[in-house]
Amino acid sequence: MMAYVRLLVALGLLSLLLFVVSLLVGPAGVSPRLSLSALIFGDAGPLTLVMREIRLPRAILGAVIGAALGLGGAAMQGYLRNPMAEPGILGVSGTAALGAVLAIQTGLTATFALALPFAALAGAGVAVTLLLFLAGRRGGALTLILAGIAISALAGALTSLVLNLSPNPFAANEIIFWMMGSLADRSFLHVALALPFFALGACLILPLGRGLDSLTLGEDAAEALGVRIVRLRVLLVAGVAAMIGGATAVAGAIGFVGLVVPHLLRRTVGAQPGRLLFASALGGACMVLAADIAVRLILPDRDLKLGVMTAIVGTPFFLHLIYRTRGRG
């Protein structure tokens, strides 16, 4: 227990540190002292505008979206009892992006801003439901991954199609954003769109910890312990869809966070999916904040996409997991 609390405190401090660093890193290249004083005290100058309207929402979104992806990954892994379940790889983020793209291209978002996260939520919800259905009561890891690949491929193809058909000359260019994700030049409007969905999803999923713990003994045993599996499943689907939908609607599809973070933390937390939930939310925030700092340090002027960074870190983990589960299919 002590180790768990220490871990949470450490992750909390780390995410706080990364949050502050994220505020201080940017193409404008202003000294940290000036930046922070402009953020906190404020003046009429352009630096205050940069700090309050560009960097602050970016850092908040990094933390919120990271937490959403980490928590979403941990919840899916816990429920499916499969360390390879992850919203990005299994196409949940991809279908969320498709929903968001449809909402933008049909003009819905122009009349009703909340249509964006709601459409992304609907897309994510369809994918999660489909995945749970296909995985079944005892679906193996392979079944799940293959189903995810199919859903990802379809969502990616349809997203490209919709953007290619758009009469707008810039739309086709956006395929990269929706597939790879970015936090560049987001604003508080986007925080307002994503945050409520994250809060809703977290409120639905965090209380499921005990149920997920019991589920490690198998569904029958969990039911015998008083876990209502159907209710748990519905809440999980709704929670994951809300969080991933909200995150993807404003930042595009960012993969591998929900895979890497629970994987790294499982060793310290132990084999209790319930405990892993909260730790993964903090860990996800750390990972996305760190990746978003990295993209700005590596190529400050080129808007290097976040998903590229997380994929570079995440793919070796994924291959390692596949290697370990070989033959257990």
Partner 1 sequence: MRFIDRISGILLAVLAAASQVAAAPQRVVSMNLCADQLAMMLAAPGQLISVSYLARDPEASAMAVEAQAFPVNHGLAEEIFLLQPDLVIAGQYTTQATVSMLKRLGIPVAIMAPADSLEDARDRMTEMGAHLGHPEKATALVAEFDENLGRLAQDADEGPRAAIYAAHGYTFGPQSLSGDILRAAGLRNVAEEAGLDRGGMLALERLVMLAPDLVILSQRRGGNSRAEEILNHPALRALLEEAGVAPLTDRNWVCGTPHVLRAIAGLAVERDAGQEPK
Residues 4, 8, 26, 210: which binds partner 1 (CB under 8 A)? 26
Q: What is the nearest approach in angstroms of partner 1 to the Cβ of residue 176?
A: 10
The backbone torsions φ and ψ at residue 270, rounded to the nearest 5 degrees and listed phi first, read 95, 180
**Rounded Cα distance, 122 and 95, in Å:** 9
User: Is 164 near partner 1 (CB under 8 A)?
Assistant: no
49 binds partner 1 (CB under 8 A): yes
Among the listed residues 11, 18, 50, 145, the single contact to partner 1 using CB under 8 A:
50
Task: State in angstroms the smallest separation of the CB of 50 from partner 1.
Answer: 4
Cβ closest to partner 1, residue 30 vs residue 313: 30
Under the criterion CB under 8 A, does residue 111 sit at the interface with partner 1? Answer: no
Using CB under 8 A, which of 129, 166, 272, 325 touches partner 1? 166
51 or 244: whose CB is closer to partner 1? 51
Cβ atoms of 4 and 272 closer than 8 Å: no
Residue with smaller CB distance to partner 1, 172 or 322: 172
Q: Residue 81 is encoded by which pair of tokens?
A: 């009892």
Of 174, 208, 294, 321, the residue at the interface with partner 1 (CB under 8 A) is 174
> How far is Cα 242 from Cα 68, in angstroms, rounded to an integer?
9
Report how far residue 194's alpha carbon sits from residue 180's, in angstroms, rounded to the nearest whole number.
18
Toward partner 1, which CB reaches closer, 169 or 226? 169
Within positions 71 to 110, which residues make up the interface with partner 1, using CB under 8 A?
Answer: 104-107, 109-110
Residue 226 binds to partner 1 (criterion: CB under 8 A): no
CB count within 10 Å of CB 162 equals: 18
Q: How many helices (H) and strands (E) does the chain have?
A: 16, 0
The answer to whether residue 157 forms part of the interface with partner 1 (CB under 8 A) is no
Q: How far is the CB of 325 from partner 1 (least distance, A)?
A: 38
192 lies in the site for partner 1, by CB under 8 A: no
168 binds partner 1 (CB under 8 A): yes
Q: Assess contact for 67 and 285: CB atoms under 8 A.
A: yes
What DSSP string runs through 211-275?
A: HHHHHTT-HHHHHHTT--HHHHHHHHHHHHHHHHHHHHHHH----SHHHHHHHHHHHHH-S-HHH
Residue 171 lies near partner 1 (rule: CB under 8 A):
yes
Minimum CB separation of residue 172 from partner 1 in Å reads 9
What tokens appear for 104 in the block?
């933008």
**Separation between Cα atoms, residue 162 and residue 171, nearest integer Å:** 9
Write out the binding residues for partner 1, residues 53-72 only, by CB under 8 A: 53-55
Closest CA to 266 of 118, 133, 77, 92: 77
Q: In whole angstroms, how close is the CB of 24 to partner 1 at the nearest point?
A: 12
- Kindly state the tokens that stand for 15: 């995410």
Binding region for partner 1 (CB under 8 A): 26-28, 30, 46-47, 49-50, 53-55, 104-107, 109-110, 166-171, 173-174, 177, 184-185, 187-189, 300-303
